[in-house]
Amino acid sequence: MLDLLIRHANLPDGQTDVAVAIQNGCISAVVPDQLLASAASIKTLDAEHQLLSPPFVDAHFHLDSALRYGQPRVNESGTLREGIALWGMLKPTLTQADIEQSATQYCHWALANGILAIRSHVDISDPSLVAVQALLNVRSAFKPWLDLQLVAFPQDGLLRRAGAQDNLIRALDMGVDVIGGIPHFERTFQDGTLSIEWLCRLAAERGLMVDMHCDETDDPMSRHIETLTANTVRFGLQGRVTGSHLTSMHSMDNDYAAKLIHLMAEADMRVVANPLINITLQGRHDTYPKRRGMTRVRELIEAGLTVAFGQDCAMDPWYSFGSGDMLEVAHMGLHVGQLTSQAQTTQCFDAVTTQAACVLGLEARGLAPGARADMVLLQANNPSDAIRLRATRLAVIRAGQCIASTPPKVAELSLGSQNISVNWRL
């Protein structure tokens, strides 16, 4: 007897009318529907030919600063630097309970939107490590439903801020999962290089993954990603290192960028672009034309790299918007990167599902027999439709259990004597 049988589903890879069987929290079969039409199951869910997807994964977020809109005030210049300055004013005023409360609220939004894994950076600049303890508590509280991975992030610089190296090691000892960095924010390019070497050596010693905020600037000479790539090879960290943002690559000389991308592919680097944030933050020092600022997503994917999109921020000192909707992120990434072909549209969907899972090291979480039964049923026919409509999450399923549901979005028109239902699908 199956625990749950989902019938008549469309899958992101283009398969239609598929049945997914679930037993003991795991997927036991993914087959054409007619093969399981008479299978016995405790529960059956008719997907009605809508899209059944692996869950959304946010590969880059900041839970400690989220949901603080207007505190201490809104970022007027819209720049990264003003955001960091505002966060510097705000963070000493936040208690562990404050951070736990807002992070909990955000996790509720995320689960309702079908996000079942988040990689969140946590600022370790303050020696009290209040934010670290808060997010470790949130990680354990949500463990049954959400894979929350934490990155020790030296927001004020690893070398620029006295004590950051010690704080970072203490955060890892407390149970933070991944090593972060911010080389472009150190005082000099040389300090950026030294920070990368120190952090990669530490990752090699401890057997951990690395995820650095890297080259989040429009300066084409900000080339820390080259150093990060070289140190990935030097310390044998291939497949375990992520470069987040990489916006300087947008402005680099094409010849240099081509060589760099080849080296990144050799080192099996992971890349996370954050389109909502970087279309807002970048180009602020340009007059016209204004650069878009997002890294070279198309070229990186074509070179075979794993590329994900992250949300980065929601209602914080850097970004006043955001609602935990990875389809909004994919929608913006598609537009900024002009990724409009059919294949590229699917790649944008993958960038917030399977590719993002890969960045977190959760490769075995797709819709395949043996995987944990984590999935989302969307009010859409296919990935393109899901992005176009920022589709309603009809059901969010974790380990075979439905943990969130939203009614379908349908409007009722009354036009004289005609009553028409509108659901925006062809």
Nearer of residues 312 and 385 to Fe ion, judged by Cβ: 312
Residue 106: what residue type?
A: Y
Footprint on residues 317-346 left by Fe ion (CB under 5 A): none
Count residues contacting Fe ion (CB under 5 A)? 1
Nearer of residues 64 and 312 to Fe ion, judged by Cβ: 312
Footprint on residues 128-157 left by Fe ion (CB under 5 A): none
Q: Minimum distance from CB of 178 to Fe ion (Å)?
A: 13
Distance CA 392, CA 318 (A): 27
Nearer of residues 314 and 330 to Fe ion, judged by Cβ: 314
Q: Minimum distance from CB of 276 to Fe ion (Å)?
A: 11
Of 90-98, 109-117, 224-232, 306-314, the segment contacting Fe ion by CB under 5 A is: 306-314
Q: Minimum distance from CB of 244 to Fe ion (Å)?
A: 6
Name which of 53, 9, 104 is nearest 357 in CA terms.
Answer: 53
Of 14-22, 199-207, 305-313, 322-330, the segment contacting Fe ion by CB under 5 A is: 305-313
Within its chain, how far is the Cα of 191 from the centroid? 28
Using alpha carbons only, give the angle 95, 99, 102 rounded to the nearest 5 degrees. Answer: 135
Of 175-183, 225-233, 307-315, 393-401, the segment contacting Fe ion by CB under 5 A is: 307-315
Tokens matching residue 98: 């404050």
Distance CA 200, CA 146 (A): 28
Q: Minimum distance from CB of 151 to Fe ion (Å)?
A: 9
User: Of how many residues is the chain composed?
Assistant: 426
How many CA atoms lie within 13 Å of 103's alpha carbon, on the beta-carbon side? 32
Distance CA 358, CA 75 (A): 33
Of 165-173, 217-225, 310-318, 336-344, the segment contacting Fe ion by CB under 5 A is: 310-318
From 82, 216, 302, 328, the catalytic residue = 216
- Give Cβ neighbours of residue 414 (< 8 Å, ≥ 6 apart): none
279 within 8 A of 332, measured Cβ to Cβ: yes
> Interface with Fe ion includes 385 (CB under 5 A)?
no
Q: Minimum distance from CB of 86 to Fe ion (Å)?
A: 15
Tokens matching residue 119: 């990689």
Sign (positive/negative) of CA torsion 192, 193, 199, 203?
positive
Residue owning tokens 């690395």: 210
Distance CA 242, CA 328 (A): 22
Q: How many CB atoms lie within 10 A of CB 16?
A: 13
The verdict on whether 216 is a catalytic residue reads yes
Nearer of residues 123 and 374 to Fe ion, judged by Cβ: 123
Of 25-33, 308-316, 330-338, 352-360, the segment contacting Fe ion by CB under 5 A is: 308-316
Nearer of residues 58 and 312 to Fe ion, judged by Cβ: 312
Contact map string, positions 200 to 239, toward Fe ion, x by CB under 5 A: ----------------------------------------
Residue 277: what residue type?
A: I
Q: Minimum distance from CB of 62 to Fe ion (Å)?
A: 6
- Give Cβ neighbours of residue 250 (< 8 Å, ≥ 6 apart): 218, 282, 291, 292, 293, 294, 295, 296
Nearest residue to Fe ion on Cβ basis: 312
Distance CA 272, CA 358 (A): 11
Nearer of residues 151 and 202 to Fe ion, judged by Cβ: 151
In the list 64, 100, 211, 312, the residue contacting Fe ion (rule: CB under 5 A) is: 312
Nearer of residues 156 and 312 to Fe ion, judged by Cβ: 312
Question: Using N-to-C axis directions, what is the helix angle for 164-174 and 189-206, rounded to 10°?
Answer: 20
239 within 8 A of 281, measured Cβ to Cβ: no
Of 41-49, 250-258, 311-319, 409-417, the segment contacting Fe ion by CB under 5 A is: 311-319
Radius of gyration of the chain (CA): 22
Q: Minimum distance from CB of 246 to Fe ion (Å)?
A: 12
Nearer of residues 64 and 126 to Fe ion, judged by Cβ: 64
Q: Minimum distance from CB of 218 to Fe ion (Å)?
A: 16
Catalytic center residues: 216
Q: Which residues bind Fe ion (CB under 5 A)?
A: 312
